[in-house]
Amino acid sequence: MKFVHIADMHFDSAFFNLSDKDIMGDLRRLEQRRVFKKIIDYIKENNIEYLFISGDLYEHKYIKQSTVEYINNLFEEISETRVFIAAGNHDPKVKNSYYNKFNWNSNVKIFDSFIEKVETDDANIYGYSFDDFYCSDSGLEDIFVEQNEKPNILVIHGNLDGAKKDDKPYNPISKALLEEKKFDYVALGHIHKPDYNSFKNQKIVYPGSTISLGFDELGQHGMIVGEFNNGLKLEFVPLDDEEFTIKELNVDNIYSKEELVEYINRLNIEPNNYVEVVLTGGRNFEINIYDILKFIQNDRIIKIKDETKIAIDLEKISNESTLRGLFVKDMMNKLENEDNLEKKDILEKAIEIGLDALE
């Protein structure tokens, strides 16, 4: 039997922090549709019997009915493929969710908020859906997994061996428990980084997010294609044509906005990359990233992040018997008495603006 395993598509995500350019959210939402169509075409072309979707297929808060209809129409195109969906923390099977109120195609099974088992001709498929935005216990410990000739597959959204306290509400799952239950494949979702070949004969798999959702998700994104045929064979198939990359630019020796814009415009950018430029080092002038972005010629640069620190010798200026010196001395006292990092950054910016005005 052959299957495709995806997770964390996050259809209709708002992409609030993705870019400093307004259009990028719309472009990535279109890319979600294009990539999902690629998955469906792959399933048709390769006669895939099962599609496992391990949660966060869409964003409950933002999903539009038109998007749900688009997804379901594609499911109808693969009517011979059985689709199993385990709802996650971003698309929980709450009362007013589309999982409950929409008429899904007949080949689609959406699991309930208890461990369910579906027997097919060539597999025993177990699954569990979030029925809220948090989950502390899916009830895995209580299930009995029958061992027979058919592979036992679990489709679930959760955090595997989460060490952080903050991760616990998102269905903490013990790897040891999964191994004890002897599942032949565990189709996980929730972690956006692929994990399918960390060790030999890996059966507990995260496919990662299907497309990158931002600069905290670098590298390739796609789906897992698996087959049970004298053992389990897995392959990662990239789907997202765009990669998110980060380029650092040190500004120690840059002394004006115009010079900085020239440096950024000279950066070598691959045509399929979306780039965040991170400014580092000591800044010698006030940097307004939104103002600078307006003059960037390469539209693949979609975000600028300022991690610079003020390079001016404030201590020296504060000792001057001038209005400038008195201003800096007063502001440095405020800086020393401020513990909040965000407010410290604001004070530093205020010093730069004040010094420019006093020139």
Say if residue 225 is in the same domain as residue 249.
Answer: no
Q: Are 190 and 89 in contact (CB under 8 A)?
A: yes
Separation of alpha carbons 129 and 150, rounded Å: 23
pLDDT at 269: 94
Question: For 122-228, where are the alpha helices, taking DSSP H only?
Answer: 175-181
Strand 185-189 relative to strand 204-205, pairing = parallel
Say if residue 261 is in the same domain as residue 222.
Answer: no
Say if residue 231 is in the same domain as residue 315.
Answer: no
Say if residue 225 is in the same domain as residue 254.
Answer: no
Say if residue 193 is in the same domain as residue 333.
Answer: no
CATH number, domain containing residue 101: 3.60.21.10
Say if residue 123 is in the same domain as residue 260.
Answer: no
Directed axis angle between helix 23-45 and helix 65-77, to 10°?
20
pLDDT at 286: 84
Q: How many domains does the chain have?
A: 2
pLDDT tens digit at each of 359 positions of the chain: 999 999 999 999 999 888 888 889 999 999 999 999 999 999 999 999 999 999 999 999 999 999 999 999 999 999 999 999 999 999 999 999 999 999 999 999 999 999 999 999 999 999 999 999 999 999 999 999 988 889 999 999 999 986 455 556 999 999 999 999 999 999 999 999 999 988 888 999 999 999 999 999 999 999 999 999 989 999 999 999 999 999 999 999 999 999 999 999 999 999 999 999 999 999 888 899 999 999 999 999 999 999 998 887 888 888 998 998 999 899 989 988 888 888 888 888 888 788 877 77
Radius of gyration of the chain (CA): 26
Say if residue 261 is in the same domain as residue 282.
Answer: yes
Say if residue 127 is in the same domain as residue 216.
Answer: yes
Say if residue 172 is in the same domain as residue 255.
Answer: no
Query: One-letter amino acid identity for 34?
Result: R
pLDDT at 166: 58
Say if residue 10 is in the same domain as residue 80.
Answer: yes
Which among 182, 205, 238 is the end of a domain?
A: 238
Say if residue 190 is in the same domain as residue 326.
Answer: no
Residue 270, Ramachandran bin (φ over 0: left; ψ between -120 and 50: alpha; else beta):
beta
Give the structural domain span for 320: 243-357
Say if residue 215 is in the same domain as residue 268.
Answer: no
Which among 185, 204, 238 is the end of a domain?
A: 238
Which among 203, 238, 273 is the end of a domain?
A: 238
pLDDT at 163: 47
User: Nearest Cα to 145, choosing from 112, 116, 174, 169?
Assistant: 116
